[in-house]
């Protein structure tokens, strides 16, 4: 399940929200739903093979920040939210990976097949 030597972190509850920035180029009009939504293409591992980046919403809030702070410097981007439990149901692992510029940074680890990417969309 996990790769890159990282394992699932059980201290991240299934109910915790994982936030991912969505570039404007990854927003599509879904006429079946009657709204714009993220494309499945937005939920992919890094091009170099390392796992997909997310931010732990709970930690952002705990630090006194809000969701918009995650989008700072990324004009036109949206923020998608899905639960850690949903990621795990799709065979992914979730692990903390704090960065200097983003202490709430985390990784969603595992192969992103088409069905996994669409499942994240709910």
Partner 1 sequence: MASAGLEKVLREVASLSESEQRKLREVLNQRLAVKASAEDVLQQTTMDNGGHKPPPYKDPIALFIGGSDDPWVRPTVQGLARLVTLGPNWDSYGAPPIDVSRIQAAVDLLRAIMRPETPAPAVLATSSGGLQFEWHENGVDLEIEAGASRDFHVSFEDHHRGEVWEGDVSTDTNGVARCIAWLSDSNESRDR
Q: How far apart are CA 113 and CA 70, in angstroms?
A: 26
Query: Does residue 11 touch partner 1 according to CB under 8 A?
Result: no
Contacting partner 1 (CB under 8 A), which of 26, 51, 82, 116?
A: 26
Q: Which residue among 5, 10, 47, 64 contacts partner 1 (CB under 8 A)?
A: 47
Residue 10 vs 72, nearer CB to partner 1: 72
For the bound state, the minimum distance from the C-beta of residue 26 to partner 1, rounded and expressed in Å, comes to 6
- Binding of residue 111 to partner 1 (CB under 8 A): no
Which residues have a Cβ under 8 Å from the Cβ of 55 and sit 6 or more positions away? Answer: 18, 19, 20, 70, 102, 104, 105, 106
Binding flag, residue 78, partner 1 (CB under 8 A): no
CB contact at 8 A, 79 and 66: no
Which of 5, 11, 15, 31 is close enough to bind partner 1 by CB under 8 A?
Answer: 31
Angle, alpha carbons 14-19-25 (nearest 5°):
140
60: alpha, beta or left, given left = phi > 0 and alpha = psi -120 to 50?
A: alpha
* Residue ranges in contact with partner 1 by CB under 8 A: 21, 23, 25-26, 28-33, 39-41, 44-48, 53, 74, 77, 114-115, 118
């Amino acid at each position: 399940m996990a790769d890159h030597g990282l394992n699932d972190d059980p201290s991240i509850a299934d109910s915790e929200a994982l936030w991912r920035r969505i570039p404007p180029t990854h927003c599509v009009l879904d006429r079946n739903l009657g709204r714009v939504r993220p494309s499945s293409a937005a939920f992919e591992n890094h091009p170099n093979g390392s796992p997909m980046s997310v931010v732990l919403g709970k930690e952002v809030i705990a630090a006194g920040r809000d969701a918009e702070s995650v989008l700072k410097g990324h004009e036109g981007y949206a923020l998608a939210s899905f639960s850690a439990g949903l990621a795990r149901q799709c065979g992914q692992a979730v692990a903390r990976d704090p960065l200097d510029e983003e202490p709430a940074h985390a990784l969603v680890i595992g192969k992103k097949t088409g069905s996994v990417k669409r499942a994240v969309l709910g």
